[in-house]
Chain A
Amino acid sequence: GEDVEQSLFLSVREGDSSVINCTYTDSSSTYLYWYKQEPGAGLQLLTYIFSNMDMKQDQRLTVLLNKKDKHLSLRIADTQTGDSAIYFCAESMPHGGATNKLIFGTGTLLAVQP
């Protein structure tokens, strides 16, 4: 199947670290992505990781990939109230060698308490 699963909700206090988890299904996915959706706005790509990497760091963001367990996580250091949003992980699904479609997770609502 093409299920990408995430926990629905995470609440943290400002300044703490947030960890959002995702499990995916297709071991042939070449790239995995994290998107952010703020209220009333479209999705924006936050970061991505290539499948041959274990970790990628980008300022306050750290992505960890465990291919064996098909587990992806996004850590946000020093979480701010502006980080409150829904976070989606997505895996790419190759389609006949042409452009990949993305299979999205259900999304995790991150609520940051001041």
Chain B
Amino acid sequence: GAGVSQSPSNKVTEKGKDVELRCDPISGHTALYWYRQRLGQGLEFLIYFQGNSAPDKSGLPSDRFSAERTGESVSTLTIQRTQQEDSAVYLCASSFPSGSYNEQFFGPGTRLTVL
């Protein structure tokens, strides 16, 4: 595709429910990243995929958060038993690294609101 797409663009859920956020990276990009941006704050790294393996999950805030990726394609971020502090914009990025240069292309994000 032309760019990174994410769905849904907005999600409102009740505390305690599970949510799934989807990311479609740019075709051919081997690396995929999830970030979280809380209101008025910078981006927090959550997890990175190289292909369908996740060498770095260090940013996942708790075991309620998980992610998977199918091959070098779609990724899903799942948040179980959502809490109000999970409210944020979740951003996905993909890249095709060249040496140590790594321009990441970002999707528009999913705004998650937990009531």
Q: Which of B13-21, B66-74, B98-106 contacts A (4 or more CB under 8 A)?
A: B98-106
Secondary structure at chain A's binding surface: helix, strand, loop or mixed?
A: strand
Q: Are B102 and A104 in touch, CB under 8 angstroms?
A: no
Please judge, given known A-B contacts A102-B102, A106-B42, whether A95 and B56 are in contact too, CB under 8 Å. yes
Residues of A within 8 A of B42 (CB): 4, 88, 104-107
Please judge, given known A-B contacts A48-B103, A92-B100, whether A101 and B56 are in contact too, CB under 8 Å. yes
Residues of A within 8 A of B31 (CB): 99
A10 at the interface (CB under 8 A from B): no
Secondary structure at chain B's binding surface: helix, strand, loop or mixed?
A: strand
Interface of chain A residues 56 through 109 with chain B (CB within 8 A): 88, 92, 94-96, 98-107
Interface of chain B residues 21 through 41 with chain A (CB within 8 A): 30-31, 33, 35, 41
Q: Are A30 and B55 in touch, CB under 8 angstroms?
A: no
Residues of B within 8 A of A40 (CB): 108
Interface of chain A residues 1 through 60 with chain B (CB within 8 A): 4, 30-31, 33, 35, 40-45, 48, 50
Q: Are B41 and A42 in touch, CB under 8 angstroms?
A: no
The docked-state distance in angstroms from the alpha carbon of A88 to that of B40 is 12
Interface string of B89-115 (1 = CB under 8 A from A): 001010101001111111111000000
Please judge, given known A-B contacts A101-B45, A103-B45, whether A44 and B106 are in contact too, CB under 8 Å. yes
B12 at the interface (CB under 8 A from A): no
Residues of B within 8 A of A50 (CB): 101
The docked-state distance in angstroms from the alpha carbon of A41 to that of B95 is 18
Q: List 11 A-B contacts (CB under 8 A).
A: A30-B100, A35-B106, A42-B4, A42-B106, A94-B100, A95-B56, A98-B50, A99-B50, A102-B33, A104-B43, A107-B42
